[in-house]
């Protein structure tokens, strides 16, 4: 089996190193003898409609608005997601895939609508710091990351979060963090998220490739364990 990973606009949405998530997915796919290719989509390029995994990262308000406008006009990501492709969207990317979010002036605009989520800005302090969550499905262990965002994101009643916040802010409503709806993942965790959480990386891969054979990665496991222990004392 061969996987195509599509990294979208990382020169716009790569402020926090989220482009590293692609390298983690490629590493863990190759370790299972899966063929994998990375397709880089830069501003102005058409978004491939036949990819298996699509990645969006975090960025500032201006680049976020530019990325949203291009994705709306292109339609490729929406087409692929509707066909069952896997999507991992981080921070600004998470806001983009929702129903609505603020523009650079703070006015609500329509997002891509891949998940029922609405982002707002209010007078709350910016959410900055380490984030620890307990996943709500998938048998995943505690996840950690670093959040840095102004927006607060409310999920629709039928939208399952990625997990519940143990430390940090996350979405800012009901102790929820991120979203995991079908094959679509959204989260405020930087780090990159998949470098800090190899089990989450495998969950993303499984959505695209099906069951994975075991893979022993002592360095990744030790890094994840260190972050969990340092942040929780457990």
**C-alpha 185: how far from its chain's center?**
5
Can 27 be counted among the known catalytic residues? no
User: Strands 176-177, 108-110: parallel, antiparallel or unpaired by DSSP?
Assistant: unpaired
Which structure tokens are listed for 232? 């929780």
Using an 8 Å Cβ cutoff, are 28 and 215 in contact?
Answer: yes
**Residue in 10, 91, 149, 207 annotated catalytic:** 91
Q: Is the peptide bond before 192 cis (omega within 30 degrees of 0)?
A: yes
Tokens 């069952």 -> residue: 84
Q: Which among 39, 52, 109 is positioned nearest to 80, based on CA atoms? A: 52
Can 207 be counted among the known catalytic residues? no
**Residue in 10, 118, 149, 190 annotated catalytic:** 190
**Which residues are the active-site residues?**
91, 190
């Amino acid at each position: 089996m061969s996987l195509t990973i599509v990294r979208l606009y990382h020169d716009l949405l790569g402020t926090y190193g989220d482009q590293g998530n692609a390298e983690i997915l490629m590493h863990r796919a190759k370790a299972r003898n899966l063929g994998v290719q990375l397709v880089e989509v830069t501003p102005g390029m058409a978004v491939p409609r036949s990819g298996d995994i699509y990645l969006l990262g975090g960025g500032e308000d201006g680049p976020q608005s530019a990325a949203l406008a291009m994705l709306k006009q292109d339609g490729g990501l929406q087409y692929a997601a509707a066909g069952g492709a896997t999507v991992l969207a981080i921070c600004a990317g998470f806001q983009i895939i929702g129903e609505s979010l603020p523009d650079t002036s703070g006015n609500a605009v329509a997002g891509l609508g891949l998940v029922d989520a609405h982002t707002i800005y209010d007078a709350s302090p910016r959410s900055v710091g380490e984030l620890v969550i307990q996943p709500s499905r998938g048998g995943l262990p505690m996840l950690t990351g670093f959040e840095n965002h102004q927006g607060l994101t409310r999920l629709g009643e039928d939208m399952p979060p990625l997990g519940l916040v143990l430390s940090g802010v996350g979405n800012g409503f009901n102790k929820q963090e991120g979203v995991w709806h079908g094959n679509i993942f959204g989260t405020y965790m930087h780090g990159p998220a998949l470098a800090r959480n190899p089990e989450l990386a495998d969950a993303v891969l499984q959505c695209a490739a099906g069951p994975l054979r075991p893979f022993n990665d002592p360095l990744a496991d030790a890094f994840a364990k260190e972050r969990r222990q340092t942040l929780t004392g457990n």
